Amino acid sequence: MKYDIIIIGSGPGGYIAAERAGAEGKKVLLIEKEEIGGVCLNWGCIPTKSLLNSAKYYHHALHGDQYGVRAEKVEFDLKTAMKWKEKTVTRLQKGVSFLMKKNKVDVVRGQARFTDRTTVAVGDEQYQSESVLIATGSSTMVPPIPGKESKNIVTSREILGIDSLPKSLVVIGGGVIGMEFASLFSTLGVEVTVVEMLDEILPMMDLGLAKTMRKSLKNISFHLGARVEKLEEGKVFFTKQGEAHELNCELVLMATGRKPNTEGLGLDEIGLDYDKKGIKTDQYMRTNVPGVYAIGDVTGKSRLAHSASRMGEVAVGHLVNPEKPKYGMFRSHAIPWAVYTLPEAAGCGITEQDAERAGLPIKTSGAQMAANGRFLAENGREVGQCKMVVHAETGVLLGVHLLGAYSSEIIHSAAAMIEAELRDVDIREIIFPHPTVSEVLRDAVWEL
Amino acid sequence: MAELVVMPRQGNTVESCVIVEWLKKEGDPIAVGDVLCSVETDKSTLDVESEQEGSLVKILRDEDDDVPVLDPIAIIGQPGEDISALIAETAEETAENAPKTEGAVEAKAKESALSGPQVGADKNGTHGVSPRARNLAAAKGVSVEQLSGSGPQGRVIERDVQAVLGSREPATPAAIAAGISAGGAVPARGSGIGGRITRGDLAASPAEESAQSSDTAAVSTETGEYEDIPVKSIRKVIAERMQASLAQTAQLTLNSSAPAESLMRWRKIYKNSDQDSGLSGISINDLVLFAVSRVVPQFPQLNAHFLGDKIRRFSDVNIGIAVDTPKGLMVPVIRAANRKSLLEISHEVKLLAEKCLSGIASPEELSGGTITVTNLGAFGIESFTPVLNAPEVAILGVNNIQLKPVLKDDETKFVPHIGLSLTIDHQAVDGAPGARFLKELGSQLGDLEKVAAL
C-alpha cells in the first residue's frame, strides 16, 4: 500500500499530525502498537488528571468548614474513582478514533519497523511512503538500582491500576510525575515520602516557588540530595550526605525519568541519527534521513504532550510545503508546562536561575495571589504566587512562573506574550478580566 | 520632452526580464541605438537599445529587478528637465497594478518598482519623507532612511512604507523597539510566531542574545559553513523542467553501440579537406545529427510530443541540441534538420552553440524542438540515461568511442564503437520501436555512405 504520510505512534504527537495531514487531503496511515492516544491519554496526562480531580473533591469535602460547608463520613472510594478514570479515557479514545475517521486516516495496529527509508512493515504487511513521521514517545526509565525487580515496586503505569490504597508510599524521583502521584496519594491520606537525588524538587521550576510548594505539601516527607542505593520488598535504602537511611513502605513508585522509544523500529537499518537522548531533528523536525521526521518525546527536545502536538504540526506543515512551511518552525522558548499537584504550578519561558546561568541581564517581580479577590474568596490562605522575568534593558518578557490554584489554566497567555515578544510596557496595555486569578499576571507586570 | 523607456517585448512567451546590468549612468548623454542596459530572460541575455536621444535622466528599476515587459525602466530627456509628472505617472501605474491585497511577492516587486537610487535620504531635507510616512514607519519599524521614495522628486510617501510592510511579515514589539527601523538587513519572514520578525532575526541586533535564539541557531551550525545560491533564471527553468519530466513521463532508456569506423573515416576526410570548402569543421557529432535527421522520418512515433490526451507527430525533424553553458544547460533547436545538408547542420550547430555560450540566443531559437540529441562522449561517458525534454518523447544520448572485440571468421578484432543511449517516453513509444530506431541508426552510422542517399 502507498501512502502520502505514514505516522508511527498515535499519541498526542502522532494523532494530531494525522489529523492535520488528513485535513490537508493527504492519504495518511497511523500505526499504533498499543492503545490509540498513547501514554498521554491512556497512562499519563488524562488518567492522572481524573484521579487528581477525585482527590480534590475529597479534599474540599474534608476542608469545607471555613467556607460554611460541613460534611460527615467523607469516604474516598478508589474503585469508583478508577471507574470514572476509565470512562474518561474510553470516551477520549473514541473521540480520537472519530477524528481519524473524519480525516480519512487509516489506522493499523502492530509494531512498525523500517525496511528501508520509504517502507514500513507491520507484521507481514508493507506500507510505502515518501514521508514517515516517527512519534513513538518514551517509556519509564528505571536506573539499575539493586533489587529494582522486587515485589511492590511499580512505575506510573502500574500504579494507575491498583485496586486498593497502600498505607504508605515511597516515591523515587521528585519530578512532575513523582510529585503528581505524591500529591494524589497524600491527599487521599496515604503516608508519602519523596526521595529526590537533586537538592530541590521540580527542576524546571523557579527555585523559590519550588521551595514554597514543597513546604506547602505538609503531608509529604521529603529527602532531597538523596541517592537510592538498594531496594527490597517494602524497603528503600538511600544515602544522604554520606549517611545511610532506610524507609519502610507498602509500595514504591519509580518516577526516575523517561527514555525515548527507539528500539525495534529498524532505525539503524535506515541509518537514522539518534542517541540515548532521542532522535536528532532540526527546527522542522527533519531527521538526517530524507523524508523521515521525528516528533514528540522520542526527539528528547521537550517531553510534553503539547510539545509533541506542535512538533507534529510543524512536521506536517513542512512536508506539505517545504518551501514555506505552513505552521512555521518549532520554537522551544515558550513551551508552557503545568504540574497538577495540590496546589498546582505552571510556568513558561526561563527562570531567574536560567537567566543567571546564561548571563542575561534581567528584572524580576512577584505578586501574591492572596491579594487577588477571586483567589482569596475561593482558596483563603493557601499558597499562590506569580513570578515574572523580563529582560533588564528591553523589557521583553522572558518567563512567567505560577504557583497556586488555576495556574495551569492561566499560563497559556504567558506563552502568547513570550511568542509575540511583548515587553512589560505592552503587557500593561492588556485588559485582564475581573475577578479572575489571571489578574495576578497584571499585578506582577506593574510590580516590575 | 522626457520620454519613458520601457522593458521591450521579447517574443510572445516572455513575460518579464531581469535587468542584469545598467551600461549607462544617470546623467549620461544618450544617442539613438546606444545600449542602455542588458536584460536576461529565462534563456538568454539581450541588450536594450535607446530609441531616443538626450540624457539618461533617471533609472527607474535596479539591477536584478525582474521587470514585466512594457513596464518603464528609465527616463530619457534633457538634463535638468522636470520629470516629476512622469515619475508620478509611473508610480500611479505601478500602484494600480499592485493593489494592497496582493501577496508579499507582488508587494516586494512593487517596493522595488519604486526604488531608484539618489532618492530617499534627501540631502536638502525639503522633499525627504512625508509626516504620514514617517509616523507609519516609526510605528511599524521601517527604515525610511534607506527607503526610496515614489512621491514627487523622490519624496518618501506613506505608500512606500506600506509597500515595505506588505513585503514582509509583521515585526514583534520588541523587534520594533530594538531598532528594526535603524537599518540593517530585515528578513521577509522571521523565526517568530507566524513568521514574525523577532529581535533575534535582526541582522544588526545587539550581541545580547535572548533565550530563544540559541535553539534556532544550533541547527544552522550543524552543517558548518555554506553558501546559498538562489535558484532563479535558467537554473530555475532547468529545475522545473527536469523535475516535471521525471514526474510526468515514463522514461525508458535503451543502450546500444554502433561501429564507428565509418564515422571516424569521414571525420578524417572532412578534417583534411580544403579550408575554403568549409567542410573541415564537420565533427563526429555533426555526422550523428545528420544521420538522426535522416533516420527519424522513418520512425515518426519518435518525432512527437506526448500531450496527455493526444500524441502530436511532426513532419519536420527539429533537433534540439544540448549545450553546456556557464549558466546551465541550454537546448537550441535546428529547425527542419531533415531538409538541411550536413554542412548546413554543422554550421548551424556552431552558430547556435556560440549564441548560447554568449547568452544571446533568442527565445525562438531555444524552443520548438521535436527530438533532442545530447552528447557526453567528449567526457568519456560510456552510457547514461538522458532525461526527456518533455513533451518530446525521445532523446538520444551520444557516448564516447570505445574499442569492442568483434568475432569474425574465428578471429577476434577490436573495432571502435560509438555508444548510443536512447530515452523514450513509454507513454507514447514502446520499447520495440525505440529499439528498431536505434538499430537502424546504428546501421546507418556504421555505413555513412548509405545515409547520404537518404
pLDDT digits (tens, 9 = 90+) for A237-289: 999 999 999 999 999 999 999 999 999 999 999 999 999 999 999 999 999 99
Cβ–Cβ gap A349/B195 under 8 Å = no
- Bigger pLDDT: B257 vs B279: B257
> Which of these, A33, A43, A44, lies nearest to A10 by C-alpha position?
A33
The CATH code that applies to domain A153-256 is 3.50.50.60
Residue A303 C-alpha, separation from nearest chain B C-alpha, in angstroms:
16
Give the per-residue pLDDT at B121. 37
Burial class (CB in 10 A: 0-12, 13-18, 19+), A36: buried
Cell of A132: 514517515
- Contact criterion met (CB < 8 Å) for B199 and A421: yes
Best to test chain A binding among B105, B197, B208 (most A CBs inside 10 Å): B208
Query: Which cell is B159 given?
Result: 505608500
Fold of A337-447: Enolase-like; domain 1 (3.30.390)
| Nearest CB partner across the interface for A421, out of B173, B216, B222 | B173
**B123: buried, middle or exposed (CB in 10 Å: 19+, 13-18, 0-12)?**
exposed
Residue B172 forms contact with A (CB below 8 Å): yes
Can you name the CATH fold of A2-139+259-320? FAD/NAD(P)-binding domain (3.50.50)
Average pLDDT over residues B414-421: 94
Provide the pLDDT for residue A125: 95
Give the nearest partner residue to B174 out of A333, A360, A396, using CB atoms.
A396
CB contact under 8 A, B173 and A334: no
Residues 283-312 of A with CB under 8 A from B: 283
Listing DSSP states for B156-224 in one string gives B-HHHHHHHHHTSPPBPHHHHHTTGGG-S---SS-SSGGG-B-GGG-TT--S---HHHHHHHHHHHHT-
**From CA A338, how far away is CA A302, in angstroms rounded?**
13
- Which DSSP helix (H) or strand (E) runs through B439? helix B431-446
- B234-453: what CATH class? alpha beta
**CA–CA dist B113, B73 (Å, integer):** 9
**Is the pLDDT confidence value at B201 over 60?**
yes
Tell me the pLDDT tens digit for each residue of B278-335: 788 889 999 999 999 999 999 999 999 999 889 999 999 999 999 998 888 889 999 9
Specify the pLDDT at position B96: 46
Question: Given this model, what pLDDT does residue B206 score?
Answer: 40
- Residues paired with residue B313 on neighbouring β-strands, in sequence order: B304
Q: What is the DSSP string of B218-282?
A: HHHHHT-S-------HHHHHHHHHHHHHHHHS-EEEEEEEEE-HHHHHHHHHHHTS-GGGTGGG-
pLDDT value of position B205: 41
Q: Check whether B221 has a pLDDT greater than 50.
A: no
The domain segmentation of chain A, as residue ranges, is 2-139+259-320, 153-256, 337-447
Q: What is chain A's Cα-based Rg? A: 23
Kindly determine whether residue B215 and residue A283, on different chains, have CB atoms separated by under 8 Å: yes
Quick check: do A153-256 and A337-447 share a fold?
Answer: no
Query: Are the C-beta atoms of B444 and B291 separated by less than 8 Å?
Result: yes
Task: Measure CB to CB from residue B193 to each of A328, A391, A426 and give the nearest one.
Answer: A328
Report pLDDT for B204: 44
The beta-carbon neighbor of A421 closest among B189, B198, B222 is: B198
| Residue A332 grid cell | 522551544
- Please tell me whether the overall predicted TM-score, pTM, comes out greater than 0.95 for this model: no
Residue B109 has pLDDT above 60, yes or no: no
Residue whose C-alpha is closest to residue B331's, from B379, B292, B365: B365
Contact B212 A334 (CB under 8 A): yes
pLDDT score recorded for residue B92: 57
Mean residue pLDDT across chain B: 81
For residue B177, the chain A residues in CB contact (below 8 A) are 394-395, 423
Q: H/E/C letters for each residue in chain A?
A: CEEEEEEECCCCCHHHHHHHHHHCCCCEEEEECCCCCHHHHHHCHHHHHHHHHHHHHHHHHHCCHHHCCCCCCCCCCHHHHHHHHHHHHHHHHHHHHHHHHHCCEEEEECCEEEEECCEEEECCEEEEEEEEEECCCEEECCCCCCCCCCCCEEEHHHHCCCCCCCCEEEEECCCHHHHHHHHHHHHCCCEEEEECCCCCCCCCCCHHHHHHHHHHCCCEEEECCEEEEEEECCEEEEEECCEEEEEECCEEEECCCEEECCCCCCCCCCCCCEECCEECCCCCCECCCCCEEECHHHHCCCCCHHHHHHHHHHHHHHHHCCCCCCCCCCCCCCCCEEECCCCCEEEEECCHHHHHHHCCCEEEEEEEHHHCHHHHHHHCCCCCEEEEEEECCCCEEEEEEEECCCHHHHCHHHHHHHHCCCEHHHHCCCCCCCCCCCHHHHHHHHHC
Cross-strand pairs, B55:
B29, B77
Residue type, A328: G
Name the β-bridge partners of B56: B76
B187–chain A Cβ distance below 8 A for any pair: no
* Per-residue CA distances from A239 to A168, A227, A244, B352 (Å): 20, 5, 4, 86
Catalytically active residues of B are 426, 430
Query: How close does chain B come to A118, measured CA to CA in Å?
Result: 18
In the stretch 366-425 of chain A, residues with CB closer than 8 A to chain B read 391, 393-396, 398, 419-423
pLDDT at B184: 63
Topology of B1-81 in CATH? OB fold (Dihydrolipoamide Acetyltransferase, E2P) (2.40.50)
Is A273 part of the contact surface with chain B (CB cutoff 8 Å)? no
Question: Of A363, A421, A429, A430, which to mutate for an interface test with B (greatest number of B Cβ within 10 Å)?
Answer: A421
Domain locations in chain B? Answer: 1-81, 234-453
- All 3 cell numbers of residue A387? 513570578
Tell me the C-alpha distance between A301 and B3, whole Å: 62
Residue given cell 545598467 in the structure block: B22
The whole-number mean pLDDT for each consecutive block of 10 residues of chain A, a chain of 448 residues, reads 96 97 96 96 96 96 94 95 97 96 96 96 96 97 93 95 96 97 97 97 96 95 96 95 95 96 95 95 95 97 97 96 91 96 96 94 95 93 95 94 96 96 94 96 96
> Which chain A residue's Cα is nearest to B190?
A328
